[in-house]
Amino acid sequence: MRKALRLRRLSRPQDDRYLFVPLDHSVSDGPVVPRDRWQDLIRSVALGGADAIIVHKGRVRTIDPAALGGCALIVHLSAGTAHMADANAKVLVGEVDEAVRLGADAVSVHVNIGSDTEARQLTDLGTVAAACEAWNFPLVVMAYARGPRVGDPRDPALLAHVVNIAADLGADIVKTNLAHSSEGMADVVASCPVPVVVAGGPASTNSIAGHARTAMAAGCAGLAVGRRIFTSPAPLQLVAELASIVHAPTDASLIHALTALENR
């Protein structure tokens, strides 16, 4: 029951749809935004209607709780940097009980299927999943097909395998890439017993709004968009637009009000 209550917090309208904003990139790639813009970014994401942010445990201490409002907190337990010999490697850098003490609503881990360290990452996933069961804590798994044995990381059959690995090992929600077509993604979603959310994808692919509509039309449960939000000149407005796609349409007056706040 307690896990069910926590899962409901991850969807603000409680419609089992999700807009997550990962801000864990400061470990993998470098600072997300300058320090003096951090609290404003959190406020923009929360005011825009994101359901949850995803950060590492140390970064939680830098967040003003009042800035989050109704936005949930997910603590990311995996890490790896762009400077590692294997950029697809991920290691555990936190534990579920730490996230509980920090007041998080869920934890997330990252697994790259097809990487040279896949075995270690699957072992870590199993460890975290067991701890989540003990704590009745939701687990979001970021599962991708990445590595030297992967041909097409957006192949629907491969994505279906990837999301089912995550589900079978304990994920409550799984994040992965969008398949090449809406039909292919629909097959991926239909294969998986837990909700599937899709990553934002590279900025060069298409508009993020079009990307979101394609995902939702395919039956996805939502989006997990980070870089395309925190690099946007108007993150609040972009989050509001994505929230209106993921959830019920946002009233035009609310969009106008949010835009005014962004430009203040």
Catalytic option among 18, 57, 90, 175: 175
β-pair partners for 76:
108
In the block, tokens 């017993």 appear at 193
Q: What is the pLDDT of residue 263?
A: 52
Q: What is the pLDDT of residue 201?
A: 76
Counting as low any pLDDT under 50, the low residues of the chain are 250-257, 260
Q: What is the pLDDT of residue 205?
A: 57
With beta carbons less than 8 A apart as the criterion, state whether 163 and 196 touch: yes
- C-alpha 63/C-alpha 66 separation (Å) is 9
Nearest Cα to Cα of residue 106 among 86, 77, 68: 77
Burial class (CB in 10 A: 0-12, 13-18, 19+), 166: buried
Q: Is the pTM of this model over 0.85?
A: yes
Catalytic option among 24, 51, 105, 172: 24
Tokens (6 digits) for 204: 């060069």
How far is the CA of 38 from the CAs of 35, 53, 62, 100, 138, in angstroms? 5, 13, 9, 23, 26
- Tens digits of residue pLDDT in 118-151: 999 999 999 999 999 999 999 999 999 999 989 8
CA angle 184, 170, 162 (to 5 degrees): 30
Q: What is the pLDDT of residue 256?
A: 45
Domains identified in the chain and CATH numbers: 2-262 (3.20.20.70)
Is there a catalytic annotation at residue 90?
no
Nearest Cα to Cα of residue 44 among 231, 185, 246: 231
Neighbours of 178 (CB within 10 A): 25
Is there a catalytic annotation at residue 155?
no
Q: What is the pLDDT of residue 2?
A: 84
Average pLDDT, the chain: 92
Q: What is the pLDDT of residue 261?
A: 52
Catalytic option among 90, 124, 144, 172: 144
Q: What is the pLDDT of residue 202?
A: 67
- C-alpha 28/C-alpha 136 separation (Å) is 29
Is there a catalytic annotation at residue 144?
yes
- C-alpha 107/C-alpha 98 separation (Å) is 10
